[in-house]
Structure 1
Amino acid sequence: MPPREIRQVGDRGAADWYTALPPITRGLLTCYLVTGLAAFMGVMPLQYVYHSWQLCFKRVPEVWRLVTNFTFLGKPSLGWLFQLVWLVQYGGAYEQAKFASNTADGITAVAVGMATGMSLDLLSYLCRAFLPPVSLFGFIKLNGRHLPFAFLALDLLMGQDIWSDVMGILMGHMYWFLTDVYPVASGRHVIQTPRWLSRLCLQHGIGRVPIQAVNPINPSDVRFRAFQGRGRRLGD
């Protein structure tokens, strides 16, 4: 199945707008809408979603909490709505600027961010990156790399908890450091997008994936090769 092409908003209005969103942004928006509305209607048991190291470390570990806590943004509220708007406006712009040519790299960046966030949270339990120029609320012009710090300052001024903003900044900069800074300084790559992930995105038409990322030797061949090899006929 060929990669899905991003279409412009047309006569269908909201449907075309939703389809035109970058794939990762569209997936996160859908996830947060579904979980938020499900929690609001009382059909999703939140006690099985939230993150708790005590529950993860008990005799029968509930390891799914390491992932499910990233799928829930909260119940519908004004703050919840603002976060969804920021996800679409700024997250979508970041995805188009950074990962428009390779959605698999974007998925890897999200996975690295999740792992970094869990590592930071575990550390505390035991003892937003490069964007094009953006306009904050349509009034303040600033460079995209400064946007996470602007949100942190807003939360600080409003007296809200800024730990989530700090963690978000660290999570985003960890991927940037391991993929852009460390390889240049050391000549080694510690973060590489798995080829099977690139192949999976290509086969299911998720965003755009360069063919060379799937099979650099023969770009026209995208078949799965895990169990292929030189065959031998068994004797009688």
Structure 2
Amino acid sequence: MSSEIMDAYWQAPPIARTLATAIFVTSISVHFGLLSYSWFYFTEDRLFKFPPEIWRLATNFFVSAPQFGIILDPYFIYQNLSQLELSNPKFNRKEDVLWYLITVGGFIILLNRWLLGGAFFLGGLTTAICYTAMQDQRGQKSNFYFFTVPAQLVPYCMILSSLLMNPSAIPLQITGILAAHLHDFLYRIWPEFGGGRNLLKAPAFVSSLITTPRVFQREYGTAIRAPGPAAAAGRTTGASTGSVLPDSWKTRGSGHRLG
């Protein structure tokens, strides 16, 4: 049973899986007193000290609301971010999803520090991801708790539920919707309808942040990650990527040297 659970965990979309896990583990550690809040909150003066505490740009999104938030925040993050990672036509590559998180997170920090203050912004990011995931599902139905609603209304249902459970979270959630809409405008609406260029195209360095080695050495053997599209194309065109030929080459007959 445990091995099946771990297999399912590792087969989940990697960015959604990693972020949801980070939120869940960090939130439990902070809310139960194992780690201090002071290590994770965001404030500008910590960025301009020496050495700069730049990790706070990310870690302020790792602490959920207390009580039910420890479960619900990672759940909503995983559910909606998985849709962006697997099926959203705007994000064809993993680096596009990662750059989305970076840019929208930056917008949320700027909006909140400018308009509202605050030091933890996960509620805004959760609503932003939900807004983006549901925009391409207009006309479809989606489940929110025990209700079935039009997909594009789900982020607003999240705000309505906060009105009943935690009204103080609503301004943060609104900034999340504003940040997601700003991203959509600069990424899609302006290029498609305004004749401009995509202002939020993922830079090249983001690809290196999610690159993983193809071969992993383990105590019980060696695991080889399945090759990407480029490597697969190389095999079909006859490009060799190692000293051992793949089995499919055995059916190609004897080779001939050119020149």
Does residue 26 in structure 1 map to residue 17 in structure 2? yes
Cα deviation 1:114-170 (Å, max 9, x = unaligned): 1101211232269x2243442112431322x32211111221244522012112212
Corresponding residue of 1:181: 189
Cα distance change of structure 1 residues 51 and 209 upon mapping to structure 2, 3 Å threshold: farther
Q: Select 1:69's aligned residue among 48, 60, 63.
A: 60
> Structure 2 length normalisation: TM-score?
0.65
Cα deviation 1:63-91 (Å, max 9, x = unaligned): 4423321222245x223212222223333
Corresponding residue of 2:202: 193
Corresponding residue of 1:228: none
Residue 41 of structure 1 deviates from its aligned partner by 4.4
State the alpha-carbon separation in 2 of the partners of residues 102 and 208 from structure 1.
Answer: 15
* Contact 1:25 1:91 (C-alpha < 8 Å) held by counterparts: yes
- 1:196-207 to structure 2, matched below 5 A, reads 196-204=205-213
State the alpha-carbon separation in 2 of the partners of residues 169 and 181 from structure 1.
Answer: 16
Read off the aligned partner of 1:95 and give its amino acid letter: E
Q: Please, what is the CA RMSD of the aligned residues?
A: 3.4
Corresponding residue of 2:218: none
Cα deviation 1:36-62 (Å, max 9, x = unaligned): 222244332211211234555678764
State the alpha-carbon separation in 1 of the partners of residues 210 and 50 from structure 2.
Answer: 37
* Contact 1:103 1:207 (C-alpha < 8 Å) held by counterparts: no
Residue 20 of structure 1 deviates from its aligned partner by 2.6
Residue 11 of structure 1 deviates from its aligned partner by 8.5
* Contact 1:178 1:189 (C-alpha < 8 Å) held by counterparts: yes
Corresponding residue of 1:148: 155
State the alpha-carbon separation in 2 of the partners of residues 94 and 80 from structure 1.
Answer: 22
Read off the aligned partner of 1:189 and give its amino acid letter: N
Q: In structure 2, list runs of 5 or more residues that go unmatched.
A: 118-129, 215-224, 231-238, 240-259
Cα distance change of structure 1 residues 93 and 208 upon mapping to structure 2, 3 Å threshold: farther
Corresponding residue of 2:27: 36
Does residue 163 in structure 1 map to residue 171 in structure 2? yes
Structure index of larger Rg: 2
Q: Secondary structure at 1:51's aligned position in 2? A: coil
Corresponding residue of 1:17: 8
Residue 189 of structure 1 deviates from its aligned partner by 2.1
Corresponding residue of 2:76: 86
Residue 102 of structure 1 deviates from its aligned partner by 0.8
Read off the aligned partner of 1:171 and give its amino acid letter: A
Q: Select 2:92's aligned residue among 97, 101, 106.
A: 101
Say how many residue pairs are matched: 203
Cα deviation 1:2-42 (Å, max 9, x = unaligned): xxxxxxxx983321331232111101111112212222443
Read off the aligned partner of 1:78 and give its amino acid letter: F
